[in-house]
Every structure is written in structure tokens, then in C-alpha cells.
Structure 1
Amino acid sequence: MTTPLFLTPVFQERIWGGQKLKDLFGYSIPYERTGECWAVSAHPNGQSVIKSGPYEGKTLGELWTSRPELFRSQSAVFPLLTKILDASDDLSVQVHPDDEYAGIHENGELGKTECWYIVAADPGAEIIYGHEATSKEQLVQMVENGHWDEFLTKVPVKAGDFFYVPSGTIHAIGKGIVILETQQSSDTTYRVYDYDRKDKDGNSRELHLNKAIDVTTIPQSYQPQEYKVAQKEGLSVTTFVSNSFFTVEKWNISSLTHFQEQPKYIICSVLDGQGQLTLEDITYPLSKGDHFILPANFGPYQMDGQLELIISHE
């Protein structure tokens, strides 16, 4: 019988992390500065583990290899990575490569296109989202001279906002923001600026200016974001983005909702509320902070309760 795959996250210590992953989601976090919850990951730097059921104890990467029928994907590796980030301090200003550049320069790693759903934000919180340089020469000049105020584009944010961050985008998450990030399964980041901070050993963190300049999109332009919203009884679906990298949606469930069989595997993260998932008379409780995968050909099934979920798939 097909069952949902509930996952145990992996937590990562970060210089800019804090305690909000515990405060907001009730996670038992291992570090004073816990910055990242790798909630759904098959990346070698932090793999989620199946929490229960017939595949209990297996990593997501092991399951991807040994039971491909659960995913029915054409991808060679599990292509997506879902994180929750606690930016209790500013993240470094950074940029990510695309697949082609990463494949050549990062030992075959995927590139990193990502997107952010703002879970929580302190009053006045901002992100860096893009830059003001109009040519490579101007970009190099601004970076080398440290003209960060003129170079970086800052955007105020609030809970419920969404941002698509394609590879080549200069960006940074600001202090006081918690996000759910859906991204390609990559751990490649090129730092451009880190506020002259020191790591726990008193050393300046490495910058990657040559590679960053190579991959940054110049000039940077953004299309106005328009989201599709579909309603049916008990369910509102907001589609934030759908492209060759991923589809990301928000599901708001307010009462019993029936779903047809799910032909693709889908990744589900419960951001708020409580409820339940039912398949063939078996009920699985759902709570804030749960992450699970519905395998390919899952269903028909039902969800009930008061739930806010972020859903993603290839």
C-alpha cells in the first residue's frame, strides 16, 4: 500500500541563525544559532530521513535510488530541496550559478534557482533583491569600492510575501525574517559581501568575487508577480511559480477536501494549523512543522482541518 513519507529534518548551524525554528515550529534544535532546517533534502550535505512506515530509517536519497517508482521522475538526483531559514541576523550578500556554470565549476553540482515564502518578518525587515549596476564594469567598480548602498536593491517584506530568485540574482535575507525556501538541490553559494563579520574562530568568511561576477545577471530586471488563485469547497490554491525548475503553491484548507489520485510526487510542508490526511480509511495527523512527500500515484485522498501548506513538485 502507498503511504505518505513523513520526514525528519536536518538542522544546520549558521553564524546568522537563532532560536525561531524552536519558537515558531517547536523543533528540538541542536545549536544556539540554528539557521536552517533542511526539511526535505536528499543533498549529500544533509539528508532527511523517513520518520515512520515501511521505509522508516532510510534517507530520502536512498529511497530515490532504491524505489524510483515512488517518484516517477526523469531527474538523475532528487531535484528539489525545501528549507526553513531563521535569519536572526543578516545573511551574506550572495549569488548562485545556473546549471551550466555549476556543472563546470562545482564538480557537477546543480545550479541554484530558488524562491522564498515569507513565514514571519519583524517590523521594518528587508531583503536584498537585485542590484543597480547596468554593466559588468559598473558592477565590478561598485563591488571593489564597497559602494553597497548604491549597488544593492533593498525591498521591505511582510509575512505572506513571495519572491522568485533565479540563479544570477544578487540577494540576501535580512535580519528578523523567517522563510520557507524551495530550491534546486544545490549547496553552492558565492558570497559577495559579509558585512566584515568574523566566524566563531575570528576569521573573515571567504568571499567568491570572481565567480560571483561571472554568474551575476546584468542588468537585473524583474517581472511584476501575478499569482493564480483557484477555489473549491474547503480549499484555496495560490500558484506562486511554475516553470522548468519547480512548481510552488500555497494550499489553505478550511474543511474536508477531496483530492484525486496524485500522478506526480509532491512535497508538502505544514506552515500553520492542524488537521489530518486520510487515505483508504487510514488517518495521518498533520501539525505545524510537519514535512512529508505524497508519492506518485498517491490517492484518492482527503485532507481536513485548518491547514496552511506550501506544496512543491518538479
Structure 2
Amino acid sequence: MYPLKFEDILRPMIWGGEEISRFKQLPEVHPGIGESWEISQVGDRISVVSEGEDKGKTITELIKRDGANLLGKHVAARYADKFPLLIKFIDAHDNLSIQVHPNDELAMARHNSFGKTEMWYVIDAKPGAGLYSGFSKQITPAEYVERIKNNTITDVLQFHEVKSGDVFFLPAGRIHAICEGILIAEIQQSSDITYRIYDYDRRDAQGNARELHIEQSIDAVDFKMYDNLRTDYAAKNNDAVGLVKCPYFETNLIEVDKSVKRSVSGHDSFVIYMCMGGKVRLTDNNGYTISLHQGQTALIPATLSWVTIEAETSAKLLECYIPE
């Protein structure tokens, strides 16, 4: 087994733009792309290996063939033949809808799906750009419904102006939205269940409004008040700093300008690297090497012992795995 890269799954969205094409250094610009699904086993959007002897195989085929050697023993025991994460880049050329995601219990009961806890890493943001996360005042479910109907729901949401490097953790139930002018990396549970609450009365090319899920969302929303929803951290050169640790994933930031060795076997989990900037080479303990530049993602199978990250230029990577 060896470090894996996958074909891009580019998704046009009503709010998408051209930044993903530029950021990923694609050979041509694809207008209107809102998301690039980097590693997915959600619905019919299944990732396909792009390099090496497994080129053309799907992640589903790899899990069926390699099981715990790919996923890790505790991951395979917990998720069987399911890949537990969905890895994305998102370009908010326009505002995304105000939305919320159900937890595992609600998602399984209603949709036979995992819930959707996620995190955001802000790659780039235009001056003044921001996002919504959490409530700015305590409200009741009845007021929540009334504010959606009279278009004032954003008046009671926390707006966070953002810059490159900002991190937000979004457990299932937290109301949120990415606003225009932001490019982010998103790590989330393997789910595409979204309850759309408010969409700025937008219309598609046929003049139709997108469906809202107001009644469904009430049971999913966490109405508690929280302070400081932005994650505080201090970056370390050529070392990992923790960003998020939750039952579904653990994520670190690694900034490198030389060679750094990282354990894989110590996690008993696959490890994912998303390149936020720069260019590196990843070499496993068997000597197999892949190149990873800005906007690319790699999956390191759990059966490998370690991987060396060698900076070709100064680079930033998100490192993610499933904690025991």
C-alpha cells in the first residue's frame, strides 16, 4: 500500500466561483464551482484513485479489498466498510445559506445516515469577509421560526470577520453559514444531510426558490449560547499544533520548511494531508514518494508506519485522522 491521491470531484453551486480552480492550480478555470470533494464515499460521488498501481479504483473498492489495513483496526471496527470522513474545499463566491446539520441520532432516525459535525480552516478571505456561527442572543424555538419567516434570523446570529488561518469547529446542531469572499478547507463526517434554514430569497435560473427545512431543523438546532467560537492556536514551525479533537476526527496544522517525520501507526488510523499552501513530497516507510502541492489532498493508509513530509517550498498542511 502507498500514499493515495484521488481525482477531483468538482461541484457547481449557485454560490460558487472560480477560486477553487485557481487555488488547486487546475489546467483550466471552471466557473461556478462551489466545492471540490477531495475524498468522498457519499452517495454516488465516490473518490477514484488518480495515481499509482491502484489508479482507477474507487475508495469503496479499496476498503473492500484492504479493510483495516487502509482504515485502521479501530476505525474498521467502528465504521465497517464506510469511509468516515468527507474532505472538501469550498469557494463562497456568494453567501451560502444559513443552515444546520443533525447529529448522529437524528440523522440515523430520519435519513439512515451519519450526522454532520465539521470544521473549517480559512485558506483565504477578502477584507471584511466573514461567516456566521452560533447565536448572538438567547432565543426560543418559536422566535427562531418567526425570525426565519420575517427574514431577521441573521440579526440573532454571531458574525465573525475572518482572515487566513482562522479555524472554526462546528458540532452538529450549531447554526452556521459561510459568507461571500471566503475560501475554506472543510473536514466533516461522511454525510451530506443539510437543513437549509434561510437562503436570502435567492432564485435559480428558472426563478425557483431553493427548498427550506424549517420544521425539520427545529429538533436539530442547539439553542445554547457559546462564547469564543473561533479556535485559538499558535502555529509551530516544522511541528504539529492541535486544532480540533472530537470523537469523529482529530486535526493538526503543520507548517514546514524542511523535512518532518510523522507517525502513522501510532494512530491506528489512516492519515489525511490537505495542502493549504506551498509544495511538499510525502515519502512512506517503504520509500514510495508522491508530490503534494497547494489544493491537493493525500490519504496515507493505516498499515504504513510513518511518512516524511519534505518541503520543496514553505508549506502548510492540515493533518487529520480518527482518534481512538
TM bucket, shorter chain: over 0.9
Deviation, 1:27, is 2.5
Runs of 4+ with deviation above 4 angstroms: 28-31, 222-231
Give the secondary structure class of the aligned counterpart of 2:6: strand
Do the aligned partners of residues 312 and 205 (structure 1) sit closer, same or farther apart at CA in structure 2, a change above 3 Å counting?
A: same
Give the secondary structure class of the aligned counterpart of 1:264: coil
* Contact 2:119-2:188 within 8 A present in 1 as well: yes
* Contact 2:129-2:161 within 8 A present in 1 as well: yes
**CA distance, structure 2, for counterparts of residue 239 and residue 191 of structure 1:** 31
**CA distance, structure 2, for counterparts of residue 261 and residue 192 of structure 1:** 40
Residues 1:85 and 2:90 aligned together: yes
* Contact 2:129-2:179 within 8 A present in 1 as well: yes
Do the aligned partners of residues 98 and 29 (structure 1) sit closer, same or farther apart at CA in structure 2, a change above 3 Å counting?
A: farther
Matching residue of 1:236: 239
Matching residue of 1:20: 19
Deviation, 1:223, is 5.5
Amino acid at match of 1:37: S
Give the secondary structure class of the aligned counterpart of 2:187: strand
**CA distance, structure 2, for counterparts of residue 116 and residue 195 of structure 1:** 22
Matching residue of 2:60: 61
Residues 1:156 and 2:164 aligned together: no
How many residues in Structure 1 have an aligned counterpart in Structure 2?
310
* Contact 2:22-2:29 within 8 A present in 1 as well: no
**CA distance, structure 1, for counterparts of residue 33 and residue 52 of structure 2:** 28
Correspondence 1:1-314 to 2 at 5 A? 2-28=1-27, 31-68=30-67, 69-72=69-72, 73=75, 74-76=78-80, 77-106=82-111, 108-131=112-135, 132-222=137-227, 235-262=238-265, 263-279=268-284, 280-305=286-311, 306-314=314-322
**CA distance, structure 1, for counterparts of residue 27 and residue 194 of structure 2:** 27
Q: Which has the higher strand share?
A: 1
Deviation, 1:61, is 2.1
1:13-51 deviations in whole A, cap 9, x for unaligned?
100000001122212578521000001111124121111
Query: What TM-score results when the alignment is normalised by the length of structure 2?
Result: 0.89
- In structure 1, the gaps of 5 or more residues are none
Do the aligned partners of residues 211 and 78 (structure 1) sit closer, same or farther apart at CA in structure 2, a change above 3 Å counting?
A: same
Identity value in percent: 33
Deviation, 1:219, is 2.4
Amino acid at match of 1:137: A
| RMSD, aligned CA | 2.0
**CA distance, structure 2, for counterparts of residue 213 and residue 28 of structure 1:** 44
Deviation, 1:182, is 0.4
**CA distance, structure 1, for counterparts of residue 166 and residue 231 of structure 2:** 12
Amino acid at match of 2:294: K
Deviation, 1:86, is 0.4
**CA distance, structure 2, for counterparts of residue 79 and residue 113 of structure 1:** 11
**CA distance, structure 1, for counterparts of residue 214 and residue 231 of structure 2:** 33
**CA distance, structure 1, for counterparts of residue 276 and residue 43 of structure 2:** 25
Amino acid at match of 1:239: G
